[in-house]
A and B are shown apart, each in its own frame.
Chain A
Amino acid sequence: MVEFDVVELEPTDHPEAGEQAPDFTRPLVDGELWTDVSLSTLLDDGPLVLLFHPMDGAFPATYAWNEIRERGWTDEIAVVGLSISTPYEHKRLIQERGVDARLFSDPGNGVAEQYDIVNDLDGMAGVSEPRPAAFVVDADGTIRYAWVAEEWPSFPDYDAIEAAIDEL
């Protein structure tokens, strides 16, 4: 394995398992259009996985959606992504990568602030995005599994998320 530098991130006060997932409203993008939707509205249809990922086009975003597609999560549960990319970029990602999920667009990074998972990007002045993070949320809005990156770069533990989905 090639040695590379990993940046340690400061601890945060992000929501933990057992807590209520903070509600928010942002444009939610599918392969065709976008419209303002709240997390609580999505939860009306049942539990979901909320995945915060780096901006579309960055390889971790591509990897995440490829992995989720291969694992077939969306056959079992709603999976929604969130990045700072615009709705136009989300549409491209969905179409080009065959993403079977909907993506929240949050260029202002306000949801990451609400969840206390802001990641200021080194070398991109004025740009911040969410830390990689994953939350499995039950239909009542209670977080059943929470993972927030403690170093950068880092990747979700897909097996752990899958176990949390199975326990719902």
Chain B
Amino acid sequence: MSTTRSTATETTEPLVLYRLQACPFCERVVRRLDELDIDYESRFVEALHSERDAVKRACGKRTVPAVVDPNTGVTMAESANIVEYLDGTYGERA
């Protein structure tokens, strides 16, 4: 791990991840967050979409996974999009 990388980690606020327990798409995002050593806070919601107003307020839609990145102001749904975003934003910060 280079010095630049750890500095970037220290100055980064944790991302917020809205997730559903045992949801493979959410796990995919979790795996990438871990691989990229990104700090994040998990907020668990339930399977029923009607119970997910908190996600809708934060991200505009009720789907999970959804990510809010306070460092860039980006909010995003769909695991493929999120993984691509994480790679693009945090993948080369070393």
Contact = CB atoms under 8 A, between A and B. Distances in A.
Contacts of B43: 33-35
B94 interface: no
A5 interface: no
Interface secondary structure of B, over-half rule: strand
A48 to B, nearest CB: 21
B54 interface: yes
A36 B44 CA distance: 10
A35 B45 contact: no
A33 B41 contact: no
A102 to B, nearest CB: 13
Contacts of B54: 32-33
A122 B56 CA distance: 44
A36 B43 CA distance: 8
Interface string A18-39: 0000000001000011111000
A87 interface: yes
Interface of A: 27, 32-36, 87-88, 91
14 contacts: A32-B51, A32-B52, A32-B53, A32-B54, A33-B43, A33-B45, A33-B54, A35-B41, A35-B43, A35-B44, A36-B41, A36-B42, A87-B44, A91-B46
Going nearest first, the 6 A-B pairs with the smallest beta carbon separation are: A32-B54, A35-B43, A33-B43, A33-B45, A34-B44, A33-B54
Interface of B: 18, 41-46, 51-54
Given A27-B44, A32-B52, A35-B43, 12 more contacts: A32-B54, A33-B44, A33-B45, A33-B54, A34-B44, A35-B41, A35-B42, A35-B44, A36-B42, A88-B46, A91-B46, A91-B51
